[in-house]
Amino acid sequence: MKKYLLLLLFCTSFSFSQKKFGAFTGLNYNFLTKGNYEGLMSENSISFHIGILYQIDINEKISFRPKLMFSQQGDRKKTAENSIFNLTNLDYKLNYINVPLDFKFGNKFYLLTGPQIGYLIDTKKMSSDYGNVKSEIDLGLNLGCGINFDQYFIELGTYKGFSKLFEYEDEYGEKHFLTNTLFRLSFGYNF
């Protein structure tokens, strides 16, 4: 009986939780890295993202906040071609549909964290062709913070991809893998 009572309490609290929709846009500062922010050897570039969100309040301080967003990533600067491989020559514009599955902790000032799954929808090679991206699926982790101003919000965060996008061999014959990394600044509105 206690199990049914707890289940009923959980379902009731979940059904009465506040739900919000929102829209946002902003800038990405993106680059390709090897390891955990190691080897920031690729060029960085500025791009944009745009999306919608749905927030379900679990309790007064914790919310589940999934998003659906279009995001430009990769190395978006064209550099002069060079016969010797250099990460600055890896000029691939990558466009993703991302689904961050963030949890929000706090109200006015808040922290965000959660996994993200992305699907590569477009690749444009601007200089030398170093092959195709190894994975169309990009899995990673978000970490950020934000502040609410009435119905408006500003968020600052970082994303670290774990999926191996490119493989290259250094001058010692050692293989390295590159992943998506970015810092994100978003401006949004809750309906």
List of domains in the chain: 23-190 (2.40.160.20)
Contact in structure between 24 and 189 (CB atoms under 8 Å): yes
> How many angstroms separate the Cα of 71 from the Cα of each of 18, 121, 169, 186?
28, 10, 28, 12
* 39-97 pLDDT tens trace: 555 677 899 999 999 999 999 999 999 999 999 998 766 666 655 555 656 778 899 99
Residues 117-145, buried b or exposed e (16+ Cβ, 10 A)? ebebeeeeebbeebeebebeebebebebe
DSSP class of 88: G
pLDDT range class, residue 16, cuts 50, 70, 90: very low
Helix (H, G, I), strand (E, B) or coil at 13: helix
Distance, CA of 154 to CA of 165 (rounded, Å): 30
pLDDT range class, residue 101, cuts 50, 70, 90: very high
pTM: 0.82
Distance, CA of 188 to CA of 166 (rounded, Å): 33
- Give the model's pLDDT for residue 68: 98
pLDDT range class, residue 33, cuts 50, 70, 90: confident
Residues 109, 114, 120: CA angle, nearest 5 degrees = 120
Tokens of 141: 């982790």
